[in-house]
Amino acid sequence: MSAPLLTVEDLTVSFPAGRDGNARAPVVDGISLDVSPGEVLALVGESGCGKSMTALAILRLIAKPGRIEPGSRIVFDDRDILALKVTRMRALRGAGIAMIFQEPMSSLNPVRTVGNQVTEAIRLHERVSAAAARDRATQMFKRVGIPDPAGRLAAYPHQLSGGLRQRVMIAMMLVVQPRLLIADEPTTALDVTVQAQILALLRELKDELGMAILLITHDFGVVNELADRVAVMYAGRIAERGTRSEVLGRPMHPYTQGLLRSIPRLSHRGEALAEIEGVVPSLGSWPTGCRFATRCPKVFEPCDGTVPESVVLSASHHAACHEIAQRRRTAGTPSK
């Protein structure tokens, strides 16, 4: 496998917590991940787990009072992103790393035509004539499957369907050929038939352009369709990571197992779903040891108080869980 395009190490993002001004609580707590060219890494988790914050941190778009804590490292294409000057960072956004969001309507300017917005994106990053930019935009519209591409350049966002708007967003992000695309719930607001098309499009574009994708989603179905590797996040930390078939086929962390069992599937009908007891702990009142300890069916003494180490299950498959570590130890001790 090629060298990673993006490496994130010990990323911690914190927000003020509590009444006194100094206390801060991490929303992302020391996570590490990497994405290689042409690879899709899915960051999966429920709302509030910190997956979107991770994405924003990579683009250095964490708004105050949030901040990226010292000790965090984000390296993109051998450049230390956190050390870049503001102007260099601005140039990197879009051209190096682009991002698409869940709701295209809130990312598009409602009073300008979509063609106008796409050509602007091109001309911000490259010195090309307006006519050349329009040509490029038309080609890209065609590539992402927008019918009547030349005509649609003149359309305003409200004149397009949700699926077309998301295609416009994807076209706008891809015209400058970013090397990493961060897709934050790119199909969550779309109907399933449209979602299937957008996922197929992302798959094709990735293969064609050799682009890396960091896919942020809560939907394991979408993960299964698009991802090569998966990292499951819970309360600011990565609970389990592995290849798609490792995480979906042989989930080891009790949280991943619970999550996968609670998904209503077409093939299991009318059966009671497995529940994960309780609720996600709210920010600032996260347990001190394993974050999942308060809801975990396998909880035992060490979980409460000690942060679990990552257990290596295979070269690619890791899970941070005391119970797995213990089972490993007992199985690993040579029995005489």
Closest distance to another protein from the beta carbon of 184 (Å) = 16
In the complex, least distance from residue 89 CB atom to another protein, rounded to whole angstroms: 33
Q: Which helix (H) or strand (E) holds 91?
A: helix 86-95
Within a 10 A sphere around the Cβ of 88, how many other Cβ atoms? 11
Smallest distance, another protein to C-beta of residue 166, A: 10
The values of phi and psi at residue 198, to 5°, are -65, -40
Which helix (H) or strand (E) segment holds residue 87: the answer is helix 86-95
In the complex with another protein, the residue whose CB is nearer, 113 or 257, is: 257
**112: Cα within 13 Å, side-chain hemisphere:** 10
163 binds another protein (CB under 8 A): yes
Helix (H) or strand (E) holding 99: strand 97-100
By CB under 8 A, residue 276 contacts another protein: yes
Give which of 74, 76, 82, 111 is closest to 95, Cα–Cα.
76
* CA nearest to 237, candidates 39, 82, 53, 67: 53
Residue 162 in contact with another protein, rule: CB under 8 A: yes
Q: Which is nearer to another protein, 77 or 219 (CB)?
A: 219
110 by DSSP, 3-state: which? coil
Contacts (CB under 8 A) with another protein, residues 222-251: 222, 224-225, 244-245, 248-249
Ramachandran region, residue 172 (left: φ > 0; alpha: ψ -120 to 50; beta: rest): alpha
Q: Is 221 in the site for another protein (CB under 8 A)?
A: yes
DSSP state of 159: G
- Give me the least distance between CB of 255 and another protein, in Å please: 9
| Beta bridge partners of residue 73, listed in sequence order | 9
CB-nearer residue toward another protein: 32 or 224: 224
Residue 220 is a binding residue for another protein (CB under 8 A): yes
Q: Are 136 and 123 in contact (CB under 8 A)?
A: no
- Asked if residue 158 binds another protein (CB under 8 A), the reply is no
Does the protein bind another protein through residue 1 (CB under 8 A)?
Answer: no
Helices (H), 112-219: 114-125, 130-143, 149-152, 162-174, 192-209
Q: Which of 21, 70, 110, 270 binds another protein (CB under 8 A)?
A: 270
Confirm or reject binding of residue 195 to another protein (CB under 8 A).
Answer: yes
**Is residue 199 a contact point for another protein (CB under 8 A)?**
yes
| Span near another protein by CB under 8 A; candidates 252-260, 286-294, 296-304, 314-322 | 252-260
Task: Using CB under 8 A, pick the residue from 118, 175, 259, 299 that binds another protein.
Answer: 259
Q: Which of 10, 126, 204, 275 binds another protein (CB under 8 A)?
A: 275
| Rg (the chain; Cα; Å) | 21
- Applying CB under 8 A, does 196 fall inside the site for another protein? yes
Q: Least distance to another protein from the beta carbon of 283, Å?
A: 12
Residue (36 or 243) nearer to another protein, CB:
243
Considering the complex, state which of residue 131 and residue 192 has its C-beta at the smaller distance from another protein: 192
- The smaller minimum CB distance to another protein, of residues 76 and 220, is found at 220
Q: Is 311 exposed, middle or buried (0-12, 13-18, 19+ CB in 10 A)?
A: buried
Give the range of 3-11, 54-62, 171-179, 219-227 binding another protein by CB under 8 A. 219-227
CA 175 – CA 226 distance, rounded (Å): 21
Residues near another protein (CB under 8 A) are 46-47, 161-164, 191-197, 199-200, 218-222, 224-225, 244-245, 248-249, 258-260, 262-276, 279-280, 282
